[in-house]
Amino acid sequence: MKTNKTLIMQPKMAEDPGTGEIARRMREILGEIGEDPTREGLARTPVRFEKALKFLTSGYMMSAEKIVNGAMFGVKYDEMVIVKDIEFFSMCEHHLLPFYGKAHVAYLPNEKVIGLSKIPRLVDMFARRLQVQERLTQEIAECLQEILRPRGVAVILEAQHFCMMMRGVAKQHSGTVTSSMLGDFRNRKETRDEFLTLIGRGRG
C-alpha cells in the first residue's frame, strides 16, 4: 500500500529590512570613529540605525493627497479653526541631529473644513524629513493653503535643537520660534492677534 508523503516546505525567511546599504555604511562609520562594530553592544546597531533613519525620514514617502484622502467637508463656518500643541520631531539637515517641539496651526475656512486629525498628520509628513525649522513652518502653511484655499493660514513652531544643546554654543534652555502667516493672518492685525491670544502667545 502506497502512502502519500506530505512535503513540508520551510518558509523562506524574509530578508531583514534593516540590513541594507545604510546599515553596511554605518558599520564602516563605527569603525572610522574608533569603535569595534562587531562587539556585542554594537553588532545590531547598524540594523537598528537603518530602521530608525527610515522611520525618521518616512515623510519623503508620504503625500498630502493620500493623508487628506478626501476628508474635506462643506461647512458654513467662517470662524478660526486651531489645532495647537501638536508635538513633532524632526532632523536638522545641517548636523543630522534632532529638533523637537510643538506646532500651532490655524486656518480661516472658506466654505470647507478639513478633518482635524489630518492637520497633525500633515505636520508629521513634513517633520519626518531632513529639515530646517524655518522651511518646515512654511511648508505646513503652504500645504494647507493649497489644499483648502482658506481665507488664511497661520503656523507657529516652537522647538529646541540638539545642534544647539549638545554642540556649538551648548545652550540647553534656548528655544526657537518661527511663524508663517498667510492671507488674513498676514493682512489683518486683529486676526493675527486673536490667533496669538488663543494659543497663549498674546500680550497680557
Choice among 133, 139, 143, 194 that is catalytic: 133
76 and 49: one domain? no
83 and 181: one domain? yes
CATH of the domain at 111: 3.30.1130.10
134 and 171: one domain? yes
Question: Mean of the pLDDT values across residues 3-29?
Answer: 66
Choice among 28, 87, 94, 134 that is catalytic: 94
In a domain, 157, yes or no: yes
Question: Tens digits of per-residue pLDDT, 67-83?
Answer: 999 999 999 999 999 99
Choice among 111, 142, 160, 163 that is catalytic: 163
In a domain, 168, yes or no: yes
117 and 155: one domain? yes
In a domain, 1, yes or no: no
Number of domains in the chain: 2
pLDDT value of position 16: 56
Choice among 35, 95, 145, 160 that is catalytic: 95
Q: Is 163 a catalytic residue?
A: yes
Asked if residues 102 and 85 have their Cβ atoms less than 8 Å apart, the reply is yes
pLDDT value of position 48: 96
Rounded Cα distance, 4 and 20, in Å: 42
What is the sign, positive or negative, of the torsion defined by CA atoms of 186, 191, 196, 199?
negative
104 and 83: one domain? yes
Q: Is 94 a catalytic residue?
A: yes
CA-based angle 172:177:147, to the nearest 5? Answer: 135
Q: What range does the domain containing 43 cover?
A: 21-56
Q: Is 161 a catalytic residue?
A: yes
| pTM, two decimal places | 0.87
Asked if residues 123 and 85 have their Cβ atoms less than 8 Å apart, the reply is no
Rounded Cα distance, 203 and 122, in Å: 29
Q: Is 143 a catalytic residue?
A: no
84 and 118: one domain? yes
117 and 84: one domain? yes
Q: Is 92 a catalytic residue?
A: yes
Residue where a domain stops, chosen among 56, 76, 99 = 56
Question: Tens digits of per-residue pLDDT, 84-111?
Answer: 999 999 999 999 999 999 999 999 999 9
